[in-house]
Amino acid sequence: MDPITQGTVGAVLPQSLGKKNLGIVAMLGFLSGMAPDLDIFIRSSTDPLLSLEYHRQFTHSIIFIPFGGLICAVFLYLLFKKISPFNFKKTWLYCTLGYGTHGLIDACTSYGTLLFWPFSDMRISWNNISIIDPLFTLPIILFVVLATIKKKNIYSKIAIAWGITYLLVGIYLHNKAINVGKEIAEQRGHTITRIEAKPSFGNPILWKTIYETKDQFYVDATNLLFGKIIQGESIKKLTLKKDFPWLKEESQQYKDVERFRWFSNNFLAVHPQNKNQIIDIRYSGIPNEIGGLWGVQLDPHKHNQEHVEFVSMRNASIERLKILRDMILKY
């Protein structure tokens, strides 16, 4: 999720267990809660997919939590030694609690998190909350501030109750969206081989459903508040040998496509307007569009050792934001 949410959730857990100096407890948890995303600095000027492989990898793993907490504790203990009343052991505890929330919250989104690294390379995504969701974050911020000002951790405990309840409701809504997606496929006479649902940007109301048949992906949107289905688009599934007959298995571009396939959980298709671009269809600015927010650009003229190009296709224009708003509020 976004850094503010990660920091706030990281702050609220240790604060709920603290009794004194709740502001400093929250600060330790807040900074530690954001720390796992420092993996975004793992990147390469020659390998465009390296950052995809390492973001939400070992720093987000459950087994790494005590080590991540220790690293944060060493740094923050030395940094705030003059103002913090806590010894190193207590600092480590609060930092570890804050750090430990990060991977679990990220796993609730749709991006995918390697919670069980190094034992599994499965990208865990429970799809019960958007990557940014003010309805989840703002009340938690409010209660953390109240706990700090009033010096009572009861507000932190209320924040935790709010967060858990919100995530549980998200699970219910996710299952409801999955059922809607199955109904859409049944009405079309399609046999589903795989289906996913994920909340659209910034809200728990509008959901994107993606289901897969033998040869196609179908993308639709459903407004769970108004019970409205918004018909979407379909696209042919990627078939490397047919779509890219020139691509050699020993080439780096072929290996990069397989890396991108792992990252995208094999939700891949050729861009409708670019025959040499492969897109991750799980994401789009408007939930009933194929679109794609990112992809990889292949080039038949590249040498065997050359990488693909990673491309970002985000379009947050005012017009598209209005379309998204109307899909949430007017349907």
pLDDT in tens, 114-158: 999 999 999 999 999 999 999 999 999 999 999 999 999 999 999
For residues 52-77, average pLDDT: 97
Q: What percent of the chain has pLDDT over 70?
A: 100
41, two tokens:
């600095």
Single out the residue in 170, 195, 223 at which a domain terminates.
170
For residues 169-193, average pLDDT: 97
Single out the residue in 129, 152, 170 at which a domain terminates.
170
**187 found inside a domain:** no
Which three-class secondary structure state does DSSP give residue 178?
helix
Dist. CA 80–CA 198, nearest whole Å:
40
Token pair 């919670």: residue: 115
**277 found inside a domain:** yes
For residues 31-55, average pLDDT: 96
In the predicted model, is pLDDT for residue 30 greater than 70?
yes
**298 found inside a domain:** yes
In the predicted model, is pLDDT for residue 316 greater than 90?
no
Residue 223's Cβ-count burial label (10 Å; 0-12, 13-18, 19+) is buried
Domain check: are 56 and 141 in the same one?
yes
Residues in Cβ contact with 52 at an 8 Å cutoff, skipping those fewer than 6 apart: 259, 260, 263, 310
Tens of pLDDT, residues 253-291: 999 999 999 999 999 999 999 999 999 999 998 999 998
What dihedral do alpha carbons 78, 82, 86, 89 form, nearest 10°? 20
Domain check: are 64 and 152 in the same one?
yes
* Average pLDDT of every residue of the chain: 96
Residues in Cβ contact with 136 at an 8 Å cutoff, skipping those fewer than 6 apart: 5, 129, 163, 166, 167
The structural domain count of the chain equals: 2
Q: What is the DSSP string of 34-68?
A: HGGGGGGG---SS-TTHHHHHTTSGGG-GGGHHHH
Q: What percent of the chain has pLDDT over 90?
A: 94
Which three-class secondary structure state does DSSP give residue 297?
strand
Which three-class secondary structure state does DSSP give residue 15?
helix
| CA quadruple 176, 270, 264, 321: dihedral sign | negative
Domain boundaries, position 36: 3-170
Strands (E), 165-215: 194-199, 206-212
**228 found inside a domain:** no
Domain check: are 22 and 146 in the same one?
yes
Token pair 């000002």: residue: 149
**198 found inside a domain:** no
Q: How many residues does the chain have?
A: 331
Q: Facing residues of 302 across strands?
A: none
Weakest mean pLDDT among 21-30, 50-59, 227-236, 310-319: 310-319
In the predicted model, is pLDDT for residue 331 greater than 90?
no
Count Cβ neighbours within 10 Å for each residue of 38-76 and write b for 16 or more, e otherwise. ebeeeeeeebbbbebbbbbbbbbbeebbeebbebbbeeb
For residues 17-21, average pLDDT: 94
124, two tokens:
């865990």
**137 found inside a domain:** yes
Tens of pLDDT, residues 80-91: 999 999 999 999
